[in-house]
A and B are shown apart, each in its own frame.
Chain A
């Protein structure tokens, strides 16, 4: 434990939500300390109120949310009683903050250097020249390659990880005693995430700051935390050192969350025999071209570059890669939402890549897709039953029978037939994803492509949906192409794995082979980047 005096101390903080919200308090009677030299991780699923306390510290509470009890003590004064002006002085100068989405947190029209210099300017420090020098030094410190060039770059010219580094540089500019990081790595790829976590840990040690780290990911917690605070429904469920909470969780909710993390334990692959493939993909190519303008050259992106693989009936193939690896394009080509430039897609003897127009429409029922975003994948104006029945109806099943089928399917995915007459907005994200699965099943497809089907869900919901998929797979002997950026999820559900990078297949093999004996450096790099791996290893 840490015997430092706390930098920030939250005591019995209660924040009331406006009337008509789903609960009375955003956070209720929350108390914890953040001491210098420690990283305090606040963990919880969406809606747990984990960010609210941080907002209160920064004086950035959303409209309508107001504190009703408790205090937030920073350097001997209660932050809740400060005026907006006093708060502004603290922000940046003594409390720094990093946000989730670095692209929207940076001004797109300002050079990076100028944005960092602006932080000094806002607090009236240094002259123009010194500010530039300081900015350069900061960029160097946060490990941006070629800082002298980066300082003149615009945000869009940097990658996501580099932008997050710039944000960190800005937050650190005035050497704050407290750094608040609100889901700083959620929008990043695993490898980038690992680097940023490393950077935060490193900086924290070097400067002896107190860090309040908000996240939903227990893997990240295992990676950085000194102490952990688990929140649910606005209340602190468990509070303790990282070791205690991760290895000896007291509260059942913490235990449930820890269990819900997809583990690295890879199930035995079933059936070694390889029957005739259901899907055969050969030398698939796809290039996206942006139309060039008068002054800008046309750009080409090779989304798929000579991709070949096969999928046996009843098999689940996991496609893993970081953003921009072409994995989604591959999925979209397989369901023929995109047309591959060259190469063939053969589905049980039919050449799927050459079909067009009506012929394609008639064959579409054979391959279905489960989409990523449970909020965007259902038409807000259609009742759930109708949304599911649409497919069979488009393929000539009479309405009455299709609706009856929809009821059965909803029953099967665990929603109950009553859901038929309700609208999508009445359901939670996990429930909507179940509806999406029911819709995909409605046509009795030979192959289902799941594109990041569980990525938008909280861990515990994610585990439930994965379980449902696993169960349906057994029951209906589905063939599944499972696209994900999350290696742990892929490991859980897939029989064989394909690792993609820059539109090419880097490695493919059974789940066991790829995870336990990766051949390629890139695969190893991906595996090493998974947050919380050491913790898992220690647990095993």
Chain B
């Protein structure tokens, strides 16, 4: 069975994929549908959805278009989610690979270093990092990456530890391949499935983290994000529900979609599991 056929067997994963595409489409179309800055005040404040033509999600406390904010926010959320996950993988995968492959003292040292990050609550560390570095897209991405790499390192380490004693790895050592070649060519490709699955879930977590940071006012002041929208609307939640409802729904759908896709990938990349289901 082809990879996609296995993936498609999981209905939820297909639904997730469709939602995800819709959100990506929103992000791409944002500059064309709403060429103006989402920060521009365009109408009376507190217009409820559908009240005035052309503002079908209403306006916020300052008269900015909620729909425009949502579209532009999609781009920011996805960007931060993806880039921070990439950075986290770039830190976590090599660390885990080296710790798992070499073992011994190197492993001990790297794992103690990892634990150092794991002992501090994620969100608290992220807040401190953003506060120190000044809120900006770059600092937010870095902060999220720094708090989310330890699980990657642990996963990759565990995979490497179980794979490094496989006979094909020993065979590769015997023919005189260098450690670097063995790590990159022999072991890493065999650890990709769990990494991909974990990464898809990490994107979801990163989007939530960014929203939470923005909610607290630690977002990049120059970009409109879903978290910022909810944060700014929290004081008027009883007068204008739509200001926090729509961005909240967007976050919910995005995270849900990513989780569904992650689960589908897990099924598709894990043929043993797929066979048991059929």
Instruction: Give A residues with C-beta under 8 Å from B.
Output: 335, 337, 361-362, 364-365, 367-369, 371-373, 376-382, 387, 390-391, 394-395, 436, 439, 442-443
Contact = CB atoms under 8 A, between A and B. Distances in A.
Contacts of A395: 175-176
A335 B174 contact: yes
Nearest to B190: A381
A362 B175 contact: no
Nearest to A367: B174
Contacts of B189: 379, 381
A377 B177 contact: no
A378 B170 CA distance: 10
B119 interface: no
B170 A380 contact: no
B222 interface: no
Contact of B167 (A361, A365, A371): A371
Interface string B163-183: 000111111111111100100
Nearest to B187: A379
A377 B176 contact: no
B176 A439 contact: no
A369 B171 contact: yes
Contact of A376 (B166, B173, B175, B185): B166
A367 B177 CA distance: 14
B186 to A, nearest CB: 6
Contacts of A369: 170-171, 174
B173 A373 contact: no
A390 B174 contact: no
A356 B186 CA distance: 22
B187 to A, nearest CB: 9
Given A372-B167, A373-B167, A379 B176 contact: no
B178 A378 contact: no
A293 to B, nearest CB: 16
Interface string B110-154: 000000000000000000000000000000000000000000000
B268 to A, nearest CB: 16
Interface residues of B, number: 18
A362 B175 CA distance: 9
A394 B172 CA distance: 9
B207 to A, nearest CB: 31
Contact of B176 (A364, A371, A372, A376): A364
A394 B168 contact: no
B186 A379 contact: yes
Contacts of B169: 379
B167 A394 contact: no
Interface of B: 166-178, 181, 185-186, 189-190
Contacts, number: 60
B186 A394 contact: no
Contacts of A373: 167
A62 to B, nearest CB: 12
A361 B176 contact: yes
Contacts of A365: 175-176
Top 3 A-B residue pairs of the complex, sorted by shortest distance between their CB atoms: A391-B175, A377-B167, A364-B176
12 contacts: A365-B176, A369-B174, A376-B166, A376-B167, A376-B168, A377-B167, A377-B168, A379-B189, A390-B172, A394-B175, A394-B176, A394-B177
A515 to B, nearest CB: 30
A366 to B, nearest CB: 10
A436 B175 CA distance: 12
Contacts of B181: 394
Given A364-B176, A395-B176, 8 more contacts: A335-B174, A337-B170, A367-B174, A371-B171, A390-B177, A391-B176, A436-B171, A439-B171
B168 A337 contact: no
A452 to B, nearest CB: 11
A382 B168 CA distance: 10
B167 to A, nearest CB: 4
Nearest to B171: A377
A373 B175 CA distance: 18
B8 to A, nearest CB: 18
A380 B171 contact: no
A154 to B, nearest CB: 26
B19 to A, nearest CB: 31
